[in-house]
Amino acid sequence: MDLFEHQGKELLAGHGLAVPRGAVASDPGEAVAAAAGLGYPVVVKAQVRTGGRGRAGGIRRAGDPEEVRSHAAAILGLDIRGERVGHLLVEEGLEVARELYVSLVLDRPGRGYLLLASAAGGMAIEDAAAADPATVARVALDPRAAITDEAVTAALAGLDLDPPTRSSVASAAAAAGRAFVAADAELVELNPLAVLADGRVVALDAKVTLDDSARFRHPEWASWTAAAAHDARERQAGDRGLSYVGLDGTVGVIGNGAGLVLATLDVVARAGGRAANFLDIGGGAGAEVVSAALEVVDADPAVRAILVNIFGGITRGEEVAGGIIDAVNRLELRSPVVVRLDGTNAAEGRAILARHLSGRLRTEASMDDAARVAVALADSAGR
């Protein structure tokens, strides 16, 4: 689960990391009120779970109420990499002397954690790392040992920092590390981690990704989960236990396994279409899950055709077919459904579907053919 910036900062502050004072706002009036409580200047920031906000105009500095109101109105509703801005974070404007980059990630091949750090933070980090990978220090951390200030200080030895600043940065990175471990995170990224003019070290931005598999250990995530699913489609899918990400196309996509679903999105694009969603029903999904997935996708008014791409392993073909037939009969689906079914008991599943084929339900032998048909159906429905 990806957290919004303000949620990630809430988590990190609870483990001792300094963050700017701020408040969340959902309309220009609330943004002005938040700024009045903080004092000027302030920074008005789009809250989306993706990068590229600065370059997209989603982060703007304001020196008075009219600027706050104007910036808030411009940012709300902005589309940033396919995610529409629904709320803002208004933060105190700070005088920054230097921007650094610090992140902690799971190192799956190394079976541990990886600390990444660079003296080039902010929007320049990607360009700097691409031009010279040596600008980013990479240090493996043992998950069996505590992430201490001393361990992090050693990791930062190669950065061009004076000793007092290195110590402050190390303390901030260690606090982020404690949050990383305690919250079962997959990523904690501080970009930039700022050294202020007065010497304080503050996380100006924070990206946090939590491991969904650890949700059972964290009842405190409930409020973050509800807030994160601001897309009505995602809320509906989440209520049914489905792994769903809303996109902006017209072809609904359902598959089993994240890799297969991602491949299906690519095939839809290659066929000239655009996917309306990513929906993974997972391994072993039965008829009820398949039916629920079709109901969620068909409820999206942008969807004009649905592509169901299943390669059965644990998932059985006749169960998938039963779910599709149930949904078609029970829901009177608006959108035509194109099915590619292969793998375990696929022949039985295709035989079941063959008895119910119509203008609203058809099967194709290959993923490419199914994608081409679904895109053609979506295109014709849009004319």
What CATH homologous superfamily does 96-219 map to?
ATP-grasp fold, B domain (3.30.470.20)
Total-model pTM:
0.67
pLDDT of 122 > 60? The answer is yes
> Could you report the per-residue pLDDT of 3-41, keeping only the tens digit for each?
999 999 999 999 999 999 999 999 999 999 999 999 999
Domain limits, CATH 3.40.50.261, in the chain: 232-381
Closest CA to 91 of 141, 21, 32: 21
Q: What is the mean pLDDT of residues 305-322?
A: 88
Q: Could you give the CA distance from residue 87 to residue 209 in angstroms, rounded to a whole number?
A: 19
> Could you report the per-residue pLDDT of 82-115, keeping only the tens digit for each?
788 999 999 999 999 999 999 999 988 888 899 9
pLDDT of 225 > 70? The answer is no
Check residue 131 and give its pLDDT.
60
pLDDT of 231 > 70? The answer is no
Coil/strand/helix, residue 112: strand
Cβ of 206: how many Cβ atoms within 10 Å?
26
**Residue 369 pLDDT level (bands cut at 50, 70, 90):** very high
Which run of H or of E encompasses 193? Answer: strand 185-196
Report cis status (omega within 30 of 0) of the bond before 65. Answer: no
Check residue 9 and give its pLDDT.
97
Check residue 129 and give its pLDDT.
56
pLDDT of 202 > 70? The answer is yes
Q: Which of 91, 99, 186, 189 is catalytic?
A: 189
Check residue 296 and give its pLDDT.
92
What CATH homologous superfamily does 21-92 map to?
ATP-grasp fold, A domain (3.30.1490.20)
Q: Which of 67, 83, 91, 101 is catalytic?
A: 101
The residues facing 375 across adjacent strands are none
pLDDT of 213 > 60? The answer is yes
Check residue 227 and give its pLDDT.
56
Q: What is the mean pLDDT of residues 360-378?
A: 94
pLDDT of 265 > 90? The answer is yes
Q: Could you give the CA distance from residue 197 to residue 377 in angstroms, rounded to a whole number?
A: 59
Closest CA to 186 of 207, 213, 210: 210
40 is annotated as an active-site residue: no
Domain limits, CATH 3.30.1490.20, in the chain: 21-92
**Residue 366 pLDDT level (bands cut at 50, 70, 90):** very high
Closest CA to 378 of 335, 334, 322: 335
| CATH, domain 232-381, list 3.40.50.300, 3.40.50.9100, 3.40.50.261, 3.30.70.2740 | 3.40.50.261
> Could you report the per-residue pLDDT of 137-185, keeping only the tens digit for each?
788 888 888 888 877 887 787 788 888 888 899 999 999 999 999 999 9
Domain limits, CATH 3.30.470.20, in the chain: 96-219
Check residue 339 and give its pLDDT.
94
Structure tokens at 31: 């943004």
Check residue 314 and give its pLDDT.
80
* Measured CA distances, 25 to 4, 201, 333 (Å): 13, 25, 38
Q: Could you give the CA distance from residue 256 to residue 284 in angstroms, rounded to a whole number?
A: 9
**Residue 127 pLDDT level (bands cut at 50, 70, 90):** low
Q: Could you give the CA distance from residue 20 to residue 351 in angstroms, rounded to a whole number?
A: 61
The residues facing 53 across adjacent strands are none
Q: Could you give the CA distance from residue 1 to residue 215 in angstroms, rounded to a whole number?
A: 9
Check residue 162 and give its pLDDT.
86
Check residue 134 and give its pLDDT.
64
Mean residue pLDDT of the chain comes to: 89
